[in-house]
């Protein structure tokens, strides 16, 4: 007998069995391996559904998807792609994809075409484009010499109206070429004009307005008039405080003011019969946000406030269900609600409640018969997807734009409530470390929202400047407080910050920190705080006035000097009317003492200062002042990083990548690793973590 032939098959069988056993063991071990947590690369590749519009017949939804740029790509903002999905099945088709920016998709009245804004080609201006609803080639509908800013279909479907700025004259262009294109600050402004054009080839647009600025507009149902938000000047401040609704007669080019809202204005809509206009607006001039739902006759007259008395929330959008019924979207605490109320006033009926769905949904897009809605929505583990809703039924998720998130570990997120020092109830969101152990204290990072006319909802809270789940994966406790002056809690709560900057609002945050320490959750020696804009103001305040509570802080586009901020911001009247309430000369002492630079000498906090070099909202000098005030007091741990070309927040991916990595490095260095503030600062060059291919 040949031994090789007799033993070889046995050997092979044994080897095969061992291999199978090892494979099964490997599969079992792999199954036992924990999924990874959300890292910085994950944060920077998240896609979101940014806009959803349902077709008039309710069968289709046009929606846009925001797609971030990768680190190696040319600097720029995220791409925005256009898709169309079936309302019934969710099956989606790509319409316009790639390195392009599609925005404001809108269906033609007959549902045959989709209009949208897009700039196609290098150095191209944004124009209105249209594409057949069943697919095909997109064609431009405008050839404006300046970028189109907004548009709407005429009810006939054969025309569109759009907003674009007045182009520069030939003399101005020649002066610019010769080097004489000087900046005449807030003087040589170009108005945002309203134009109308036919969709027939070769048609020339008609200019409908002149001498005023148009911010938004809506056609009456019969198309004979236009409701427009008008202000005297094309200034950001005007967009905040001086928009009023006017009725425009396109035939005569006459404008007649119909709303006398004393403060901020939100959206507005004609009733189906054209007789009335519903609009969202501030309660009064000092109300710092849009908060109420109103109805006025389309020809002008007294406004009726439809908002429930002492409403503990903020209305953010209004629309019509029918001639007698107004619908409105509101934020109530950390949840959104959609309600109905008769146009004559009365009790509201909540028809969709975010708390019941577990979703933070945005502005609804209803079909013509009001039986189908398209919405975007997010949740603690869903960054932003497309949803369909039929009244009386549950919301249906139609997209899963980030399927890989199902393989990630998340920290538990919950609503956290506590008492402020004066007895007020305050709430926020609390993220627990991914591997949380009861009874153990953890490093704490507090994220403070801007505004302060804003708030955190109980949805997705991880972004480049607020990487909550990334920190939770690293073992941090993360807190998002809705301090007094936040929206979503009614007028009295919101007004607590009026004439009291850094007062009760920031005391609420301090009380939240101390509450988390007393509850045995946070390590008192490892507390960090970060925020942007007004949240950056909080970061500066807690690294100076409240330095005893915070070991490391990150101030992004933040405020350090209330006096100079008031004199350099592009929204001085907004600041005066809804925040300070008095001219600077009457508030010198208070503004001085509520400025972080006043307390910089006592700072014991490691301070990271970040901001855009082209910021007009909070001037870069705010960062310079705080940096210098700290440095001149021999502060051992302060770093200032500026991002060229960026404004009030970073739009391009290089700046976003750096803010994300630099904040994480700062907190890890001082909180997780426990390095002393008096010692060396973290390494300056952190580009190795950017995901770039770099040569020495």
CB atoms within 10 A of CB 38: 24
The backbone torsions φ and ψ at residue 163, rounded to the nearest 5 degrees and listed phi first, read -105, 130
- Considering the domain architecture, whether residues 310 and 162 belong to the same structural domain is answered as no
pLDDT, residue 23, reads: 42
**Distance, C-alpha 524 to centroid of its chain:** 31
Q: Quote the tokens at residue 309.
A: 């008395």
Confidence of residue 33 (pLDDT cuts 50, 70, 90): low
On average, the pLDDT of the chain sits at: 94
What number of CA atoms fall less than 13 Å from residue 490's CA on the CB side? 9
pLDDT, residue 499, reads: 97
Task: Supply the CATH number for residue 518's domain.
Answer: 3.40.50.1820
pLDDT, residue 28, reads: 45
Of 135-139, 215-219, 455-459, 531-535, the least confident: 135-139
- Considering the domain architecture, whether residues 153 and 295 belong to the same structural domain is answered as no
How long is the chain?
696
- pLDDT, mean of residues 334-360: 97
550, 662 in Cβ contact below 8 A? no
Task: Supply the CATH number for residue 107's domain.
Answer: 2.120.10
Give the N- to C-terminal CA distance of the chain in Å, as an integer.
68
635, 604 in Cβ contact below 8 A? no
- Considering the domain architecture, whether residues 118 and 250 belong to the same structural domain is answered as yes
Angle at 463 between CA 461 and CA 465, to 5 degrees: 115
Task: Examine residue 19 and state whether it is found in any structural domain, yes or no.
Answer: no
Q: SS in 3 state form for 398-432? A: CCCCCHHHHHEECCCEEEEEEECCCCCEEEEEEEC
- Considering the domain architecture, whether residues 588 and 612 belong to the same structural domain is answered as yes
- Considering the domain architecture, whether residues 256 and 324 belong to the same structural domain is answered as no
Confidence of residue 695 (pLDDT cuts 50, 70, 90): confident
* pLDDT over 70 at 20, yes or no: no
User: Helix 504-518 to helix 534-542 angle, to the nearest 10 degrees?
Assistant: 60
* pLDDT over 90 at 1, yes or no: no
pLDDT, residue 473, reads: 98
- Percent of the chain at pLDDT > 90 equals 93
- Considering the domain architecture, whether residues 320 and 254 belong to the same structural domain is answered as no
Domain count, the chain: 3
Encode pLDDT of 191-200 as tens digits: 999 999 999 9
Encode pLDDT of 128-183 as tens digits: 999 999 989 999 999 999 999 999 999 999 999 999 999 999 999 999 999 999 99
Task: Examine residue 619 and state whether it is found in any structural domain, yes or no.
Answer: yes
Please, which residues bridge with residue 219 across strands? 226
Reported in sequence order, the residue ranges of 265-421 that DSSP labels E, i.e. its strands, are 265-270, 276-281, 292-297, 304-305, 314-322, 325-332, 335-342, 349-353, 360-361, 365-366, 373-379, 382-389, 396-397, 408-409, 413-419
pLDDT, residue 18, reads: 38
Encode pLDDT of 293-311 as tens digits: 999 999 999 999 999 999 9
Let me know if 636 is exposed, middle or buried by CB neighbors in 10 A (0-12, 13-18, 19+).
middle
* pLDDT over 80 at 16, yes or no: no
pLDDT, residue 293, reads: 98
Task: Examine residue 492 and state whether it is found in any structural domain, yes or no.
Answer: yes
Q: For the range 207-214, what are the long-range contacts, defined as Cβ-Cβ under 8 Å and sequence gap of 24 or more?
A: 208/161, 208/248, 208/250, 208/253, 209/248, 209/253, 209/255, 210/253, 212/255, 213/238, 214/163
pLDDT, residue 694, reads: 81
Of 314-318, 474-478, 687-691, the least confident: 687-691
Question: What is d(CA 681, CA 631) in angstroms, rounded to the nearest whole number?
Answer: 14
Question: What is d(CA 262, CA 156) in angstroms, rounded to the nearest whole number?
Answer: 34
* pLDDT over 60 at 94, yes or no: yes
List the one residue out of 431, 524, 515 whose CA is nearest residue 476: 431
Question: What is d(CA 280, CA 336) in angstroms, rounded to the nearest whole number?
Answer: 16
Comparison of pLDDT for 651 and 16, the residue scoring more: 651
- pLDDT, mean of residues 196-220: 96
- pLDDT, mean of residues 422-444: 98
pLDDT, residue 27, reads: 41
* pLDDT over 50 at 527, yes or no: yes
- What is the reported pTM? 0.93
- Considering the domain architecture, whether residues 286 and 344 belong to the same structural domain is answered as yes
Question: What is d(CA 474, CA 91) in angstroms, rounded to the nearest whole number?
Answer: 37
DSSP states along 174-199: HHHHTT-----TTTS---EEEEEEES
pLDDT, residue 693, reads: 82
DSSP states along 10-36: HHHHHHHHHHHHHHHHHHHHHHHSPPE
- Considering the domain architecture, whether residues 197 and 304 belong to the same structural domain is answered as no
Confidence of residue 29 (pLDDT cuts 50, 70, 90): very low
3-state DSSP assignment of residue 60: strand
Q: Quote the tokens at residue 567.
A: 């004199």
Task: Examine residue 695 and state whether it is found in any structural domain, yes or no.
Answer: no
List the one residue out of 102, 92, 91, 95 whose CA is nearest residue 67: 102
**Distance, C-alpha 40 to centroid of its chain:** 19
- Considering the domain architecture, whether residues 444 and 529 belong to the same structural domain is answered as yes
Task: Supply the CATH number for residue 317's domain.
Answer: 2.40.128.660
- Considering the domain architecture, whether residues 110 and 134 belong to the same structural domain is answered as yes
Task: Examine residue 371 and state whether it is found in any structural domain, yes or no.
Answer: yes
72, 383 in Cβ contact below 8 A? no
The residue range of the domain holding 287 is 265-357
* pLDDT over 50 at 434, yes or no: yes
- Considering the domain architecture, whether residues 496 and 385 belong to the same structural domain is answered as no
Task: Examine residue 547 and state whether it is found in any structural domain, yes or no.
Answer: yes
pLDDT, residue 96, reads: 96
Encode pLDDT of 396-429 as tens digits: 999 999 999 999 999 999 999 999 999 999 999 9
CB atoms within 10 A of CB 167: 13
Question: What is d(CA 302, CA 269) in angstroms, rounded to the nearest whole number?
Answer: 17
Task: Examine residue 149 and state whether it is found in any structural domain, yes or no.
Answer: yes
List the one residue out of 112, 51, 55, 84 whose CA is nearest residue 368: 55
- Considering the domain architecture, whether residues 253 and 272 belong to the same structural domain is answered as no
Cis peptide before 452 (omega within 30 of 0): yes
* pLDDT over 70 at 5, yes or no: no
Task: Examine residue 694 and state whether it is found in any structural domain, yes or no.
Answer: no
């Amino acid at each position: 007998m040949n031994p090789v032939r007799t033993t070889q098959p046995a050997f092979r069988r044994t080897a095969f069995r061992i291999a199978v056993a090892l494979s099964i063991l490997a599969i079992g071990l792999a199954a036992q391996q924990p999924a990874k947590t959300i890292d910085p690369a994950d944060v920077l590749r998240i896609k979101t559904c940014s806009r959803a519009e349902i077709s008039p017949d309710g069968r289709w939804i046009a929606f846009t998807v925001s797609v971030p740029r990768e680190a190696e790509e040319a600097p720029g903002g995220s791409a925005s792609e256009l898709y169309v999905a079936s309302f019934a099945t969710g099956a989606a088709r790509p319409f316009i994809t790639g390195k392009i920016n599609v925005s404001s998709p809108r269906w033609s009245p007959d549902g045959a075409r989709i209009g949208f804004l897009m700039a196609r080609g290098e150095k191209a201006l944004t124009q209105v484009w249209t594409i057949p609803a069943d697919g095909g080639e997109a064609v431009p509908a405008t050839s404006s010499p300046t970028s189109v800013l907004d548009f709407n279909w005429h009810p006939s479907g054969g025309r569109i109206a759009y907003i674009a700025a007045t182009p520069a004259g030939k003399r101005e262009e020649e002066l610019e070429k010769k080097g004489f294109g000087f900046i005449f600050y807030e003087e040589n402004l170009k108005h945002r004009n309203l134009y109308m054009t036919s969709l027939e080839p070769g048609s020339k647009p008609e200019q409908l307005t002149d001498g005023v600025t148009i911010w938004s507009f809506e056609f009456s149902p019969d198309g004979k008039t236009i409701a427009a938000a008008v202000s005297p000047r094309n200034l950001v401040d005007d967009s905040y405080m001086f928009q009023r609704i006017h009725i425009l007669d396109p035939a005569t080019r006459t404008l007649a003011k119909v709303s006398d809202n004393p403060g901020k204005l939100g959206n507005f809509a004609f009733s189906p019969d054209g007789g009335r206009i519903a609009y969202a607006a501030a309660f009064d001039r000092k109300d710092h946000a849009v908060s109420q739902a109103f109805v006025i006759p389309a020809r002008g007259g007294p406004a009726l406030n439809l908002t429930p008395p002492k409403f503990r929330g903020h209305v953010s959008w209004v629309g019509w269900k029918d001639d007698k019924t107004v619908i409105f979207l509101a934020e109530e605490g950390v949840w959104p609600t959609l309600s109905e109320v008769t146009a004559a006033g009365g009790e509201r009926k909540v028809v969709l409640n975010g708390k019941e769905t577990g979703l933070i949904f945005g502005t609804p897009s209803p079909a013509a018969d009001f039986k189908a809605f398209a919405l975007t929505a997010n949740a603690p583990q869903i960054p932003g997807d497309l949803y369909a809703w039929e009244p009386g039924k549950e919301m249906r998720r139609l997209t899963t734009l980030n399927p890989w998130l199902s393989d990630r570990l998340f920290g538990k997120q919950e609503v956290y409530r506590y008492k402020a020092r004066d007895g007020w109830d305050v709430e926020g969101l609390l993220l627990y470390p991914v591997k949380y152990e009861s009874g153990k204290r953890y490093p704490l990072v507090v994220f403070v929202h801007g505004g302060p006319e804003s708030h955190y909802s109980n949805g997705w809270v991880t972004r480049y400047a607020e990487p909550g789940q990334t920190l939770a994966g690293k073992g941090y406790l993360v807190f998002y407080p809705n301090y007094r002056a936040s929206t979503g809690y009614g007028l009295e709560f919101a007004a607590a910050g009026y004439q009291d900057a850094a007062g009760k609002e920031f005391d609420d945050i301090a009380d939240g920190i101390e509450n988390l320490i007393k509850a045995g959750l946070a390590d008192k020696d490892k507390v960090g705080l970060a925020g942007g804009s007004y949240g950056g103001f909080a970061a500066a305040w807690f690294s100076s006035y409240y330095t005893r509570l915070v070991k490391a802080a990150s101030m992004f586009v933040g405020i350090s000097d209330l006096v100079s901020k008031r004199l350099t911001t592009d929204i001085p009247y907004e600041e005066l009317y809804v925040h300070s309430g008095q001219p600077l000369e009457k508030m010198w002492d208070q503004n001085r003492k509520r400025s972080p630079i006043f307390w910089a000498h006592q700072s014991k906090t490691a301070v990271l200062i970040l901001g855009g070099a082209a910021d007009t909202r909070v001037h870069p000098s705010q960062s310079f002042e705080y940096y210098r005030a700290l440095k001149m007091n021999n502060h051992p741990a302060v770093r200032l990083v500026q991002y060229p070309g960026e404004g009030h927040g970073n739009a391009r991916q290089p700046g976003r990548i750096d803010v994300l990595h630099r904040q994480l490095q700062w907190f890890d260095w001082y909180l997780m690793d426990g390095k002393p503030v008096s010692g060396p600062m973290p390494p300056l060059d952190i580009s190795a973590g950017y995901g770039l291919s770099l040569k020495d």
